[in-house]
Amino acid sequence: MDYKIIVDSGCDVDKEMIEEMSLKLVPLTIEFEGDRHIDDDTFDGKTFVKKMNLSHAIPKTACPSPAEYMDSYQGKEDNVFVVTLSSKLSGSYNSAEVAKEIYEGENRQKKIHVFDSLSASAGQVLLTLKVDYLAKMGKTYSQIVSSIEQYIKEMKTIFVLEKLDNLVKTGRMSLVKAAIANVLNIKLILASNGKGEIIMLQKARGIKKAINKMIEIIDDKKVNLEEKFLVIAHCNCVERAMAIKEKAKVLYGFKDIFVVEMRGISSVYANDGGIVIAY
């Protein structure tokens, strides 16, 4: 089966993954202090995060247009799979769907399926890896669509943020809650609720305890880990991510574990020290 996988830049795939899976990346944009940044491979995430932390300005993100998705659908591949940010967090899914309806109408031989990840960051990476894995196993278009839609329902996305500033700036957390958490050095263990919305699972005093709780939660879910991948995404804290990988190796029997660095969109919300895991 000839196929192509398309992702938006909420998906924290690295350059090696892009090459190995021949991915097409459709970038979101970030507007900050009057400048417009395209979240592609030219984006300097480390410099941007430093600048963001020194400013009171609020970064604004914008999803790709249907026209940009239309362009990404072009090519010889008749089977196209798209993995987008949660539709509850971005308009990327809707743009991809609008483009799909138009493009399939004009190109009857094309089959395009847009997956609403109901997640972000590591969650999108996990789904992308799974799509590619199934395609290389020789699964049909319909089998892949069915398997991934079920996988989305079962997937767990959990994250711990060292800094809550950007959640406040972007309106995803109240200033009062964040101020109390910062004063008491409370770190929140957050997750997707399976519907693409953010919920709090637990809280802990200090980042180390929060990370340890996050690792413990993996076991609480009682899922068949031997057949699953674990993806760990980090914002400028590779040592922390690698430590989580080593602990997970010892404690659980994941099929494989991947560590990736966050791209621009994820970094806007996670900030320095942020960790997202998905399995």
Residue from 260, 277, 264, 267 nearest 235 by CA: 267
Rounded distance between C-alpha atoms, residue 94 and residue 116, angstroms: 9
155 pLDDT band (50/70/90 cuts)?
very high
* Structural domains in the chain, sorted by start: 3-153 (3.40.50.10170), 157-278 (3.30.1180.10)
Sign of torsion, CA 257 151 141 70? negative
Rounded distance between C-alpha atoms, residue 265 and residue 28, angstroms: 7
End-to-end CA distance of the chain: 26
For a pLDDT cut of 90, what percent of the chain falls above it? 78
* Average pLDDT for the chain: 92
How many CB atoms sit inside 10 A of residue 141's CB? 17
Specify the pLDDT at position 176. Answer: 47
Specify the pLDDT at position 25. Answer: 98
Give kind and range of the element (H or E) at residue 189.
strand 186-192
Please check the confidence at residue 78 and state whether its pLDDT lies above 80: yes
Give 232's DSSP letter. E
Residue 163's φ and ψ, nearest 5 degrees, are -125, 135
Specify the pLDDT at position 56. Answer: 86
pTM: 0.93
The tens digit of pLDDT for each residue in 171-190 reads: 655 554 655 566 678 898 99
Residue type, 1: M
Residue from 222, 242, 225, 224 nearest 233 by CA: 242
Rounded distance between C-alpha atoms, residue 73 and residue 264, angstroms: 23
